[in-house]
């Protein structure tokens, strides 16, 4: 896995919804990427030394390109600067980083692929690559701006929840699961912490393995600084305490192994 910066070339950029942008990048690191990993993207602003971790949304068929879908988090932020960049420009990245979802766990099983908010994008590549008995994609949005919905529909049965009830089930992803009477043998999920906590409890009640991708502010992105740790059941071999580094040991964890 490459841990050195490289210059990626922006192939395309488009706005998908309010504050949500999609960017395709051509870079060497794409050939090693798997669903669930992320990349670190650097701005050109020298006052912003730290990169922004962005989940991989899709891996190009040519294995030479990656797609990231990200939310602009405010005026003057690194993500706002990314959104203003154009095709043909270069951007410094480190890619790919972290671990991926364990695809082998899905073979012969019914699966839930669950995404919420800006945790929706990394579920797309997972939905394309996973091989299972039954693929159920449950994605939650704030409103009817259901970015990536058409892409998901090409890869499995899609169930939508919206906070305002404008489309699909009114409520959250668990409301959609219950309303549609869905059942699974294993869960894969990425999204906001309240959603992941609820899914962990649901999985415990149903006695299901549940793999979650955690989102956290990161500094180095390679496990050196201990700036993005979470509580864990087992001791970390690096620090010998009950912590896991989200960037290095994750971002994907078995939910029962972390304290969220």
Look at residue 169 in the predicted model and tell me its pLDDT: 98
Looking up residue 230, the CATH number of its domain turns out to be 2.10.240.10
**Do 181 and 245 have their domain in common?**
no
* Residue range 238-260: mean pLDDT, rounded: 80
Residue that is last in its domain, among 97, 127, 148: 97
> For residue 48, what pLDDT band results from cuts at 50, 70 and 90?
confident
> For residue 1, what pLDDT band results from cuts at 50, 70 and 90?
very low
Contacts of 7 (CB under 8 A, 6+ apart): 27, 90, 91, 92
* Residue range 47-74: mean pLDDT, rounded: 92
**Do 163 and 137 have their domain in common?**
yes
Looking up residue 66, the CATH number of its domain turns out to be 2.40.30.10
* Residue range 204-230: mean pLDDT, rounded: 77
The structure tokens listed for 251 are 């971002």
Contacts of 190 (CB under 8 A, 6+ apart): 36, 55, 114, 115, 116, 119, 120, 122, 123, 212, 213, 215
Could you tell me if residue 127 is inside a domain?
yes
From CA 158, how far away is CA 137, in angstroms rounded? Answer: 5
215 phi and psi, to 5 degrees? -105, 135
Look at residue 2 in the predicted model and tell me its pLDDT: 44
Q: How far is CA 254 from CA 142, 206, 247, in A?
A: 27, 15, 15
**Do 108 and 173 have their domain in common?**
yes
Could you tell me if residue 260 is inside a domain?
no
pLDDT at 116 over 50: yes
Look at residue 227 in the predicted model and tell me its pLDDT: 64
**Do 245 and 222 have their domain in common?**
yes
Could you tell me if residue 17 is inside a domain?
yes
**Do 56 and 130 have their domain in common?**
no
- Kindly report which listed range (10-24, 53-67, 208-222) carries the lowest average pLDDT score: 208-222
The structure tokens listed for 204 are 């415990």
Contacts of 186 (CB under 8 A, 6+ apart): 105, 106, 109, 110, 111, 112, 208, 209, 210, 211
- Helix or strand holding residue 158 (H, E): strand 157-162
Looking up residue 137, the CATH number of its domain turns out to be 3.40.50.80
**Neighbour count for residue 229 (Cβ, 10 Å):** 22
Look at residue 37 in the predicted model and tell me its pLDDT: 96
Torsion, Cα 211 217 223 225, to 10 degrees, reads: -150
**Do 147 and 227 have their domain in common?**
no
**Domain count across the chain:** 3
> For residue 223, what pLDDT band results from cuts at 50, 70 and 90?
low
Could you tell me if residue 1 is inside a domain?
no
Could you tell me if residue 259 is inside a domain?
no
Look at residue 216 in the predicted model and tell me its pLDDT: 62
* Owning domain of residue 234: 216-254
**Do 73 and 113 have their domain in common?**
no
Residue that is last in its domain, among 97, 129, 145: 97
* Residue range 81-99: mean pLDDT, rounded: 96
Sign of the dihedral through C-alpha 9, 247, 111, 144 = negative
* Residue range 196-210: mean pLDDT, rounded: 97
* Residue range 188-196: mean pLDDT, rounded: 96
């Amino acid at each position: 896995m490459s841990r050195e910066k490289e210059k990626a070339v922006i192939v395309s950029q488009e706005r998908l919804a309010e504050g949500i942008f999609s960017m395709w990048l051509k870079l060497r690191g794409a050939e090693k990427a798997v669903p669930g990993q992320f990349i670190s993207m650097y701005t050109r602003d020298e006052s912003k030394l730290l990169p922004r971790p962005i989940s991989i949304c899709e891996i190009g068929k040519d294995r030479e390109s990656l797609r990231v879908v990200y939310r602009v988090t405010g005026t003057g932020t690194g993500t706002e600067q990314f959104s203003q960049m154009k095709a043909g420009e270069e951007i410094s990245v480190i890619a790919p980083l972290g671990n991926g979802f364990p695809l082998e766990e899905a073979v012969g099983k019914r699966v839930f692929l669950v995404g919420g908010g800006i945790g929706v994008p990394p579920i797309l590549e997972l939905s394309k690559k996973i091989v299972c008995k039954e693929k159920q994609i449950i994605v939650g949005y704030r409103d009817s701006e259901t970015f990536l919905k058409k892409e998901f529909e090409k890869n499995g049965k899609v169930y939508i929840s919206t906070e305002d009830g404008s489309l699909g089930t009114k409520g959250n992803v668990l409301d959609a699961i219950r309303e549609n009477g869905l059942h699974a043998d294993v869960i894969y999920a990425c999204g906001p912490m309240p959603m992941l906590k609820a899914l962990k409890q649901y999985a415990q009640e149903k006695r299901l393995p549940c793999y979650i991708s955690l989102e956290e502010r990161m500094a180095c992105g390679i496990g050196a600084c201990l700036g993005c740790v979470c509580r864990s059941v087992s001791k970390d071999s690096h620090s010998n305490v009950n912590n896991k580094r989200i960037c290095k040991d994750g971002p994907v964890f078995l939910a029962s192994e972390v304290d969220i």
